[in-house]
Amino acid sequence: MFQIIGIIVVFAMVFGGFILAGGNMGPILHSAPYELMIICGSALGAMLIGNSGKTLKAVLVGFGKLMAGPKWKKKDYADLLALLFTLTKTMKTKGVIALETHIENPGESSIFTQYPKILKDHFATDFICDTLRMMTMNLEDPHQVEDNMEAQLEKHHHDASAPAHALQTTADALPALGIVAAVLGIIKTMGAITEPPEYLGKMIGSALVGTFLGVFIAYGFVGPMSSRLQAVVDEEATFYKIIQAVLVAHLHGNAAQISIEMGRGIVPSSSQPSFAELEDALENVGAA
């Protein structure tokens, strides 16, 4: 919602200010289609050259993500903590072997199926199950497990950040591509150097529209979109960091409630359940 408002504000302030200052929109409207073809078309081509098909597809998905915001909401964080509480408590009371059937087939697990949104996220489910599977193979050194989990998180975050990096690279290129369009306009003007000054003035003005549009699109739209998308990716990454924090805390010998509290501490502030809210949720888990 705020992104749509922001787009409207950018257009209104830039062009509204130009018109109020006595500017004539005629040259801009006349030149814009051709300049946009040069600038946006070449930017799209450069994006195709510099990115894989997977990244390009992720960029398209990313436009929806930057509008919708992070997919993990307050309830999802509470559900994750409840899931991890059940797993760590079971390991404390029955041993990690008791979870073997759950981690081998989480889709049919009585624990995982209580949280369908988490189960649907393949990375989150695999991240939990793979770590627990290592524990069943007697890898219980907290530092080794933490290093392994950190490497997986870095790889996942790098892949998830690719669309934002692609957009930022495009934003960085757009002003230069605007200059390319402007130079082409100047070349066209030089070919008509014998024309009257008023005609040449219009041609030069049209050429400068290219520079304007390149900078305008880069810093008014694509750059902010890249920043927003990266912010969403960074916040979503916290969801997986919680898994790491809780399981590593468990390996350090902490009680299930303490491990969960360590995970709660790194939940984003806007989605963080209070201590009392989490306690109530865990009591319900225990009752179930």
Find all residues with CB under 8 Å of 245, minimum gap 6, and list them: 262, 263, 265, 266
State the pLDDT at residue 33: 92
| CB of 146 closer than 8 Å to CB of 138 | no
State the pLDDT at residue 288: 39
Low-confidence ranges of the chain (pLDDT < 50): 287-288
Q: Cα-flanking dihedrals φ and ψ of residue 141, to 5°?
A: -75, 115
The structure's pTM equals 0.87
Sign of CA dihedral 179, 184, 189, 193: positive
State the pLDDT at residue 188: 84
Q: Whole-angstrom Cα distance, residue 152 to residue 150?
A: 5
| CB of 174 closer than 8 Å to CB of 218 | yes
